[in-house]
Structure 1
Amino acid sequence: MTDKNLIHPQARSTTNGGAAAAKPSFPATKAQLYGATRPTYRPQTYHRPRSNRNWCCTICCWLILILIFILILLGAAGTVVYLLYHPQRPSFSVSSLKLTSSEFDLTLSTTNPNDKITFSYQPISVSLLAGELDVGDGVIPSFEHATKNTTMLKALVERRSVKKKSLELKMKMETKVEAKMWVFKTPRVGISVLCDGIDVAGEKAATADEKCAVDVRFKGWK
């Protein structure tokens, strides 16, 4: 048999319907190697630090609430005291006022109308005025005023140079008073007393029992 009669198998032609040829493998790039070993990124949760301003606001709110609570307690205590004791302001009147060559001889009466409250007076400053002119100044010593009691007060007021023998005077007194109720004491409260329309002529005494207006800087007293 000659070579011509030998049948050589033909190589199969690669067509679209046949098996695809194996893709050539290339070495991995640096980017692919880095991506394979790089951990997955997970965003971190951001916690905003608490501001000092929030603490200040909280403290201020608590202080305001505590202050309001204290004021409510004080108001309730004042109401209870008023209902139990019915505080009334003291009264003053001029019993006599005599004019001498060098001084005014003053006698006052003061009444404490309360049956459960005593008063403790600081020294009382006395000023005698003729119009707007200060014609005399003096001091009444401090004293304790018992309940349901009328006390007579005397003072010698130094006279200033006045040419008139007959004067129409008004008297101003300033002091501080402390009220005592059982074992409780109030803070010292300012008190002003004004006695107007006092006529003085020589040795003649002023009109007896000239009433005085009392201004107490504590509105709970009637």
Structure 2
Amino acid sequence: MSSGPTPPLQKPPGYQDPNNPAGRAPPRRPGNVPPSFGTKRRRSFCRTYYCWCCIVSMLLFILLISISAFFYAFYHPQLPEIHVASMKITRFDVQSSADGAILNSESSIRVEIKNPNSNLEIKYNRTSILIRADDGGVNLGKSVVPGFIQAANNVTSMDIKVKAKQVVANEVAERMKTEYQSKNLKVSVELDGGVGVKGAGWSTSPVLMNVACRGVRLSELQDSAGSNPKCQITVFDWVRVH
């Protein structure tokens, strides 16, 4: 008696045929990260970074203020006192012509600088000195003084000689000549240079200083007069001290 065909074996659940790639399950994809997740992390980092920057800046500012207050309380720095002690015009020749008058002038001027600081020296860079007359319209000469260091509680005198030759209008020359002879000629003296302070083992960088003594009559600048015309000192282009 013959038996019937053998039934095929049943495949177990989850069986995958290695010869059938199409039957393979697709690889699993990672889950999608919400778009706001990375943005929140970046915002949190930026917030922390800016907070630390503000804290560090505030601490540095407080430290700078404390050092400046200690420096001022200990040294009490003061600007130098500068004035024109005397001035003499030793030559004032006017030669009139059709094209204008030729003015030849020679002047000697003494500038006194006082350092009122008891614990600080003052450093002066090369300083230019300019003398003018007729409300600044006529140049009477210019000179340059080399830099130097002034000791504490010291008074330094600088004797400077200048000369100039220029063409001016005839009426201006005649008016200046009359004022020169009567010692009513008004002159202006300007000093431009750098100034800094120096302590024990340290010094500051020089800052620009301008000293202007304007509209001073010759009669006020004679040795026997004993007057010290006030000058204006400008530091940092905006701090003015008389």
Distance apart, 1:60 and its partner CA:
4.6
| Cross-structure match for 2:89 | 99
Distance apart, 1:69 and its partner CA:
2.3
Aligned residues: 185
Q: Say which of 154, 171, 191 aligns to 2:189.
A: 171
Report if the CA contact (8 A) 2:136-2:188 is conserved. no
> Which has a greater percent of helix?
2
| Cross-structure match for 1:73 | 63
Identity, % of aligned positions: 27
| Cross-structure match for 2:151 | 146
RMSD: 3.7
TM-score, normalised with respect to structure 1: 0.68
TM-score, normalised with respect to structure 2: 0.63
Distance apart, 1:59 and its partner CA:
4.2
> For each residue in 1:62-109, what CA deviation from the matched residue of structure 2 results, as whole angstroms up to 9, or x when unmatched?
444333322221111010011111111110111111113342211111
In structure 2, how many angstroms separate the alpha carbons of the residues matched to 1:138 and 1:206?
25
Distance apart, 1:57 and its partner CA:
5.7
Residues 1:132 and 1:60: Cα distance change in structure 2 (over 3 Å): farther
> For each residue in 1:102-141, what CA deviation from the matched residue of structure 2 results, as whole angstroms up to 9, or x when unmatched?
4221111110011001001001111223213141322122
Unaligned runs of 5+ in 2: 1-24, 92-104
Residues 1:174 and 1:207: Cα distance change in structure 2 (over 3 Å): farther
| Cross-structure match for 1:118 | 121
| Cross-structure match for 2:160 | 155
Residues 1:197 and 1:42: Cα distance change in structure 2 (over 3 Å): closer
| Cross-structure match for 1:49 | 38
Unaligned runs of 5+ in 1: 1-37
In structure 2, how many angstroms separate the alpha carbons of the residues matched to 1:139 and 1:69?
44
Larger radius of gyration: 1
Report if the CA contact (8 A) 2:127-2:144 is conserved. yes
- Is the counterpart of residue 188 in structure 1 residue 209 in structure 2? no
Distance apart, 1:207 and its partner CA:
5.0
In structure 1, how many angstroms separate the alpha carbons of the residues matched to 2:106 and 2:211?
21
